[in-house]
Amino acid sequence: MAKLNPFEIVQKQVDKCAQILKLDPQVTAVLKSPMRELHLSLPVRMDDGTIKVFHGFRVQYNDARGPAKGGIRFHPDETIDTVRALSAWMTWKCAMVDLPLGGGKGGIICDPKTMSSGELERLSRIYMRNVFQFIGPERDVPAPDVYTTPQIMAWMMDEYSAMMGKSQFGVITGKPIPIGGSKGRGDATARGGMFTIREAAKALKLDLRKATFAVQGYGNAGYYAAKLAKEMFGAKVVAVCDSKGGKYNEKGIDPEEAFACKEKTGSVRNLKTGKAISNEEILELDVDVLIPAAIENVITEKNAGKIKAKIIAELANGPTIPEADDILYKKGIHVIPDFLCNAGGVTVSYFEMVQNFSLYPWEEAEVQERLDKKMTAAYNSVLKTSRDYKINMRQAAYVIAVKRVVEAMKLRGWV
Ligand code: GLU
């Protein structure tokens, strides 16, 4: 199979939205390309004394609605087109939950699983030194994403602060709580997704207390999704996996036990009980709620027809390709699209920025309550638009988000 290019997928999605909204082609052209991008070569001294050059990117896709916002990924398969796509999705995501922010994304081609903590720190710091001129609290604010952690955010914030000669907590979000992080940021992506699942279940009249869940990916989003599905709804998580494989157990999997197993052995596939399952098989299980929480392009025209879940809640960015969307819609599967479902992360990142600017930390309950309001309003507006226009949930989310971005560009006199 030819490798799917996520940026081509974004362009297809924008074209579809432009068609629904009957956008001026000149406006569509602006929406289809990133405004600015930075390409970096970063020499890092490795523990064995050699110097290795890493390649990194930062893309500011569109900042019409406010400073660019979006995470930094450390991934061996990172490409500039993936970062472009992810920065576009960040633009729609921030508009979707009506944050006064634009969209950006960063990435470094590297395999953090094979690097020492010292090597990761040196890589994080040199990346920050090189994006220094390009970012800032009022320009572009990075955050964690795939394989980047609060510790990495702490090093990056420290490097930026050292260069500025003063503490600059607002330059990056997802920081550890003692140095300007927000309470509730750790599980925010998953919790936000749970609020949308709760609303979807109301719309579909599905009793979540009796529901079964399968979770693909067991990083920050996947682990907390499994944990919160059990805690918030009393639902049963019957399957979990990560990049190395996973387990299915119809009696239910304890999310904490799976987490401990991954910490200890490197993968949830080493759970003692249950049947071995691959990270492709997990998508086709007969469950009520399927949560892709890993990487892009996992639901394609090849497997979409075999999916049995009633709800697909996309905590990953870009898990479903456009051809698969059509198949899922025809099958009546309710898809909560990525830039709606996983907007909880950036929403609490935005709360973190507000707390940093005002030097006033909030209680966790306040964070969660405000997050619930944002996600519930966003979900219900997408559901309504999807019903009004008779379009799928992703197209409906696009219609709302793109309208907001275009409105801002018009008001600023860009188009
Ligand atoms: N990386 C997360 C995302 O894709 C969070 C971005 C942020 O907090 O800025 O939404």
- 72 with 160, same domain: the answer is yes
Q: What's the predicted TM-score (pTM) here?
A: 0.97
**Pocket (CB within 6 angstroms of ligand 1):** 69-71, 93, 143, 145, 173-174, 317, 342, 345-346, 349
d(CA 215, CA 277): 12
Is the residue at 276 inside a domain?
yes
Do residue 144 and residue 209 come from a single domain? no
Domain boundaries, position 210: 188-341
Asked whether 250 and 256 are in contact (CB, 8 A), the reply is no
Q: Whose CA is nearest to atom 9 of ligand 1?
A: 70
| Residues carrying an active site annotation | 105
CA distances from residue 353 to 35, 179, 358 in whole angstroms, order as listed: 23, 12, 9
Predicted confidence at residue 1, as pLDDT, reads 45
Pick the atom of ligand 1 nearest to 141's CA: 9
Tokens 């503490």 found at? 167
Q: How far is the CA of 104 from the centre of ligand 1 (A)?
A: 9
Establish if 411 belongs to a structural domain. no
Over the chain (415 residues), the average pLDDT of each successive run of 10 is 82 96 98 98 98 98 98 97 97 98 98 97 98 98 96 98 97 98 98 98 98 97 98 98 97 98 98 96 98 96 98 97 96 98 98 98 98 98 97 98 98 98
CATH number at residue 279: 3.40.50.720
In a domain, 294, yes or no: yes
Indicate which residue's Cα is closest to atom 8 of ligand 1.
346
pLDDT score, position 48: 98
**Residue 28, in any domain of the structure:** no
Across-strand partners of 289? 213, 311
Query: Same domain, yes or no, for 151 and 47?
Result: yes
Residue 66 lies in a domain: yes
Question: Of 176, 197, 228, which residue constitutes the final position of a domain?
Answer: 176
Q: For residues 135 and 59, what is the distance between their CA atoms, to the nearest angstrom?
A: 10
- Rounded to whole angstroms, how far apart are CA atoms 289 and 214? 6
Location of structure tokens 């995470």? 71
192 with 172, same domain?
Answer: no
Q: Considering 341, 375, 392, which residue would you say is the last residue of a domain?
A: 341
Quote the CA–CA distance of 286 and 269 in Å, as a whole number: 19
β-pairing verdict for 36-45 and 51-62: antiparallel
pLDDT (0 to 100) of residue 4: 85
Q: Does residue 158 share a domain with residue 196?
A: no
Rounded to whole angstroms, the Cα distance separating 222 from 153 reads 20
Domain endpoint, select from 121, 145, 176 = 176
Question: Does residue 374 form part of some domain?
Answer: no
Tokens of 25: 């082609």
Is 379 part of a structural domain of the chain?
Answer: no
Among the listed residues 368, 339, 336, 387, the one whose alpha carbon sits nearest the alpha carbon of residue 99: 339
Asked if residues 336 and 311 have their Cβ atoms less than 8 Å apart, the reply is: yes
Return the CATH number at 120. 3.40.50.10860
Q: What is the pLDDT of residue 2?
A: 53
Is 146 in the same domain as 196?
no
Q: Give domain status of residue 60, yes or no.
A: yes
